[in-house]
Amino acid sequence: MKSTNPTQTKAWKKLEDHFKAVKDLKLKSEFESHPGRADEFTLRWEDFYVDYSKNLITKETRDLLIELAEEVGLEEAIFDYFGGGRINRTEGRAVLHTALREKNTTEVEVDGENVIPEVFKVKEKIRSFSNSVIDGSRKGFTGKPFSDIVNIGIGGSDLGPVMVTEALKNYTNHLKVHFVSNVDGDHVHETIQDLDPETTLFVIVSKSFSTQETLANSTTIRKWFTKRAPAEAVAKHFVAVSSNVKAVKEFGIEAENIFPMWDWVGGRFSLWSAVGLSIALSIGPNSFEKLLDGAYAMDQHFRETPFEKNIPVQLALLTVWYNNFHQAETQAIIPYTQYLHRFSAYLQQAIMESNGKGVDRSGKEVTYQTGNIIWGEPGTNSQHAFFQLIHQGTKLIPADFIGFKKSLFDDKAHHNKLMANFFAQTEALLAGKNSEEVRKELTSKGLSEEELEKLLPFKTFPGNRPTTTILIEKLTPASLGKLIALYEHQIFVQGIIWNVYSYDQWGVELGKQLADNILSEIEENDVRGHDSSTSKLLKFYLQE
Ligand SMILES: O=P(O)(O)OC[C@H]1O[C@](O)(CO)[C@@H](O)[C@@H]1O
């Protein structure tokens, strides 16, 4: 994969000039003067309706952004990505979460070996294992079927499974799935205190099997379990998902209870692998497969669709436009369904751990902004929390609004209210409310001229705030798979344009190392060699 400083491309220079010309673009007048604007900037694909017309762009912006994508070699990069090229150069690995949702007739090679048969072998293991837990034929040490599952993992070994099991709660069976991630002992003790060891299955998920949090929580849980069950019962109640088979065996888990994963699947992109075991347990293997099929469909769309009609490409280009030309720092993700309440937390890891990089692919410090800050909460709750700032604050916050035509409980009255808010918010952010409109409104309420003038500046809305609407037919395993894959590919495109390695995460290492050192100092009550702030804080913590 070549290293191209995006700011040195011809397209970037053109975009800079273009930005000067359109930076004061007024969306409202663009809509008035171009009646076809909504059609021009809407993409229809399967059950997705993606309207990006409420963004601060013109056709020329789109053309130039596509030119940029072409100039940095996006097409060739996509080919490498799906083809198993070692695009994660700093770790010498391929990036093939897409192979996890491929059909078994395909061949995807890593080091000359087709990985698809192995992927399908593990899929079969996931299927038979989850079926046996769900139908009760697999039993705990006293012969009772399982009722509870505890997923022990952190980061990509937690966020994807939690987000999906929450999102697909309506598709779940009788098994109750719990998640323990934080090394905070209160998290693990709170979770296990009411569980019945006879009917609880523990799924330890750690690609490396060396993560402090996961090992500490697993050890605590195993201790809790063996106090209540004979040691040999561990084999029936603990399974692990990892690429470090040796460490898993040393922990005491039987070989047949280990679900492998591979170094070509990054943690934050791993929910499609056996890391998604708790998803398969919770919604059943058929629905898990549908999730993967949805992602597969999005993969094909991304690979085969010209950039102009390509949803992940277009949405990624918009983020570049805001991040690098409008200098927006953040992007809000607002799903209008409570089921997706962990979606932005999940995307925070996926996006920020991938593209929060300050060094380009040639090892040089970048001279432009890279990874944007992701945040958000479901609507309508967020409307009553932080929307004030999006509407009237001083910051430019491009926002993705994700909604569904149908609700799952089919309560039309509620859904209409929810969706009325969904549409109203993007309209309000676009149109704002000018002083004339406010004046009219206040006059009709009978306010005096003096009261009116005082209130006027506070009640006006500047509008012109960009949003993208992703309207999907219904929240199903398949549509969720498509949605997640959409953002995965958006991350990829951003990384190619920003010229960073999106698939490593060295930035998380330093804190881990220092925590290890500090832990020994705490345990030995011997604080040494820190800056004075850290020393004092540690001493204060250690004081009885
Ligand atoms: O699955 P593991 O190896 O325990 O890692 C958990 C998480 O830790 C990280 O390496 C970051 O600390 C993530 O990228 C990863 O998802």
> Would you say 145 and 173 are in contact if contact means Cβ atoms under 8 Å apart?
no
Report whether 170 contacts 205 (CB < 8 A).
no
- Specify the 3-state DSSP secondary structure of 239: strand
Strand blocks (E) in 282-385: 330-335, 373-375
Q: Which atom of ligand 1 is nearest to the CA of 275?
A: 1
The CA 510 to ligand 1 mean position distance, Å, reads 14
Per residue in 279-293, pLDDT (tens digit) is 999 999 999 999 999
CA 65 / ligand 1 centre spacing (Å): 33
489 is catalytic: no
For ligand 1, atom 7, the nearest C-alpha belongs to 155
Q: Which of 271, 491, 508 to mutate to test the pocket of ligand 1 (most atoms within 8 A of CB)?
A: 508
The per-residue pLDDT for 131 is 98
Whose alpha carbon is nearest atom 16 of ligand 1? 156
Give the integer Cα–Cα distance in Å for 273 and 269: 9
pLDDT at 2: 82
Q: Which atom of ligand 1 is nearest to the CA of 509?
A: 12
Question: Which residues form ligand 1's pocket by a CB distance below 6 Å?
Answer: 154-157, 206-208, 211, 214, 267-268, 353, 505, 508
CA of 88 to the centre of ligand 1 (A): 16
Q: Is 353 a catalytic residue?
A: yes
Atom of ligand 1 nearest to the CA of 153: 4
pLDDT tens track for 20-69: 999 999 999 999 999 999 999 999 999 999 999 999 999 999 999 999 99
Residues comprising the chain, all counted: 544
Q: Which residue has the tokens 């089921």?
A: 339
Map tokens 């601060």 to a residue.
56
Catalytic residue among 232, 384, 523, 524: 384
Element (H or E) spanning 259, and its range? strand 258-260
Torsion angle of alpha carbons 325, 330, 331, 334, nearest 10°? Answer: -150
Burial grade of 29 (CB within 10 A; 0-12, 13-18, 19 or more): exposed
Ligand 1 centroid distance, CA of 129 (Å):
24
Closest CA to 180 of 125, 220, 227, 208: 220
Catalytic option among 395, 454, 512, 539: 512
Ligand 1 atom closest to the CA of 211, numbered from 1: 4
∠ CA 498-504-510 to the nearest 5 degrees? Answer: 110
What is the 360 CA–ligand 1 centroid distance (Å)?
Answer: 22
pLDDT digit string (tens) for the chain, length 544 residues = 788 999 999 999 999 999 999 999 999 999 999 999 999 999 999 999 999 999 999 999 999 999 999 999 999 999 999 999 999 999 999 999 999 999 999 999 998 999 999 999 999 999 999 999 999 999 999 999 999 999 999 999 999 999 999 999 999 999 999 999 999 999 999 999 999 999 999 999 999 999 999 999 999 999 999 999 999 999 999 999 999 999 999 999 999 999 999 999 999 999 999 999 999 999 999 999 999 999 999 999 999 999 999 999 999 999 999 999 999 999 999 999 999 999 999 999 999 999 999 999 999 999 999 999 999 999 999 999 999 999 999 999 999 999 999 999 999 999 999 999 999 999 999 999 999 999 999 999 999 999 999 999 999 999 999 999 999 999 999 999 999 999 999 999 999 999 999 999 999 999 999 999 999 999 999 999 999 999 999 999 999 8
* 512 labelled catalytic: yes
Residue 404's SS3 state is strand
What pTM was computed for the model? Answer: 0.98
Q: What number does the ligand 1 atom closest to the CA of 159 have?
A: 16
Structure tokens at 197: 């060891």
Among 97, 154, 203, 218, which is best to mutate for testing ligand 1, by the most ligand atoms less than 8 A from CB? 154
What secondary structure, in 3-state letters, does 449-480 show?
HHHHHHHHHHHCECCCCCEEEEEEEECCHHHH
Helix residue spans in 356-476 (DSSP H):
387-392, 412-431, 435-444, 449-459
Nearest CA to ligand 1 atom 14: 267
Is 276 exposed, middle or buried (CB count within 10 Å of its CB: 0-12, 13-18, 19+)?
Answer: buried
- Cα angle 49, 309, 53; round to 5: 55
- Closest ligand 1 atom to Cα of 214: 4
Q: Which pLDDT score, from 0 to 100, does residue 544 have?
A: 86
| Interhelix angle 59-71/10-22, nearest 10 degrees | 160
CA–centroid distance, residue 445 to ligand 1 (Å) = 57
Going by C-alpha positions, the residue among 454, 440, 333, 491 that lies closest to residue 397 is 333
Residue 405 C-alpha to ligand 1 middle, in angstroms? 35
Check residue 516 and report its DSSP letter: H
Strand partners, 259: 241
